Structure 1
Amino acid sequence: MQEIWMFTAVALMIVMVPGVDSLLVLKNTMIHGKKAGFFTMVGIVVALFVWTTLAVLGLATIISKSIVVFLFIKYAGAAYLVYLGIQSWRAKAQNMMLQEQITPNQNKNASLSCMVQGITTDLLNPKTLLLYVTLMPQFIQPEFNVNSQLILLAGILIVLSIVWLGIVIFVINGIRKWFMKPVVQSVFNKMTGVLLIGIGVRIAKEQ
């Protein structure tokens, strides 16, 4: 039981520290509204479920030990973040519209795109992989069922992610109307772009 509480505290800090997930949810909520933020969060959660499944099957450890596969995930993830950053930098201010001004078809496409972004960034995030194969095992007691403990710890991580990202969506959607000025939109897009590109470059350069 002590290990569970310790992991919960560590996982909470990991989730709350500003990173790719929070930045992506923030960006999509600000640009497209709370529905897009929610779909981004759904994509992130789906990716976490995939990583949990791979970990339970033992495939996550195999992936982490394969230099070729690990480097592919690392550089593909970095490249994707740079791509999203460039997109954000080049985005026009008028694309940042209030939800009611977007047609149903545009809204659907934006939501699906945001969910794909959430899935892709987390599946190609080497830090998420390392979390499953290096951090979680430290809180698992070998005398008990390992897979059950792994699923429990992953469940805690997923619940904390949903709660925290939900708070981000709620807060950002609440202040979103103050960011509708073209100048503010343009600055926000460029700042987000720089951050995404910076994170991508940092991931690519990490040893």
Structure 2
Amino acid sequence: MDNLMAYIAVVIVLAMMPGADSMIIMKNTLNINSNAGRVTILGIVLGHLFWTFIAVIGLAVVIANSIILFSTIKYIGAAYLIYIGIRSFTAGQLVSVDDLKEKQQQAKGQLGEAFRQGLISNILNPKVLLLYITIMPQFMTVGGSIGENQQLVILAGLLIGISSLWFLLVVELVNIMKKWLKSRMFQNWLAKGAGVVLILFGIRTALDA
């Protein structure tokens, strides 16, 4: 892993690029609260751990090389993004800062859904799979003092750590913006906008070759 700093730079750029994960985090932070955004990140992290395990045991290459398996993941993932995008767009009035305490019980029930959205969308994201079999191997040293699987785990850990830090920052920024812009109508339209973007991400995922 001679190019570790280059890999870290690539991961930082990838983490900061707008994608389905960041939009789901923003949507849940807007629709529910900052805890929902953080729980969504936890789901995303577990999704990455799933793909790390799959890559370590060698199944990631098998899935990527199977047209049926890869296409199945791609289309189910695209459909799921469109589904949660529609859910966000058609959601009712958002929980405002003023009445958040009165809605705590409802929010607790939504935390589980936020976690599942982060987990499922990551597991069903074909771009995450490709990341493990195309980008990571470029920064691994074959025949080095550290085994390839160990290198993969280290690179995946860096990806998860850097991405999580960025996503936590996104949650805080969205939460600050939500407190500043207390208008329920404005927050509602922001959530609808996030829903539209998720739908577009789903469509793009389905159409990607």
Q: Compute the TM-score of the two structures, normalised by the length of structure 2.
A: 0.94
Partner residue, 2:196: 194
For residues 15-73 of structure 1, give each alpha carbon's deviation from its aligned partner in whole angstroms, at most 9, with x where no partner exists: 11011111111111112111101100000000000100111111111111111110011
Pair 1:162-2:197 in alignment: no
Structure 1: segments with no counterpart, 5+ residues: none
For residues 90-138 of structure 1, give each alpha carbon's deviation from its aligned partner in whole angstroms, at most 9, with x where no partner exists: 1122x3333323133x222111100000001000000000000111011
- Tell me the distance in 2 between the aligned counterparts of 1:196 and 1:101: 29
**Percent of paired sites with the same residue:** 40
Partner residue, 2:65: 65
- Tell me the distance in 2 between the aligned counterparts of 1:72 and 1:197: 18
Aligned partner of 1:21: which letter?
Answer: D
Structure 1 runs (4+) deviating above 4 angstroms are: none
Higher helix share: 1
**Secondary structure, aligned partner of 2:74:** helix
Partner residue, 1:30: 30
Q: Give the drift of 1:182.
A: 3.1
Pair 1:109-2:104 in alignment: no
- Tell me the distance in 2 between the aligned counterparts of 1:181 and 1:101: 18
Counterparts of 1:167-182 in structure 2, within 5 Å, are: 167-182=169-184
Give the CA RMSD over aligned residues: 1.3
Whether the aligned pair in 2 keeps the contact of 1:96 and 1:180 (CA below 8 Å) is no
Q: Give the drift of 1:148.
A: 0.7
- Tell me the distance in 1 between the aligned counterparts of 2:181 and 2:122: 27
For residues 119-163 of structure 1, give each alpha carbon's deviation from its aligned partner in whole angstroms, at most 9, with x where no partner exists: 010000000000001110111110121001000000000000111
Aligned partner of 1:131: which letter?
Answer: L
Partner residue, 1:50: 50
Partner residue, 2:101: 100
**Secondary structure, aligned partner of 1:92:** coil
Partner residue, 1:7: 7
- Tell me the distance in 2 between the aligned counterparts of 1:124 and 1:2: 31
Equivalent residues, number? 205
Aligned partner of 2:83: which letter?
Answer: Y
Partner residue, 2:141: 141
Structure 2: segments with no counterpart, 5+ residues: none
For residues 148-200 of structure 1, give each alpha carbon's deviation from its aligned partner in whole angstroms, at most 9, with x where no partner exists: 10000000000001110011111111221234423213321221121011110
Bigger mean CA offset, 1-10 vs 148-157: 1-10
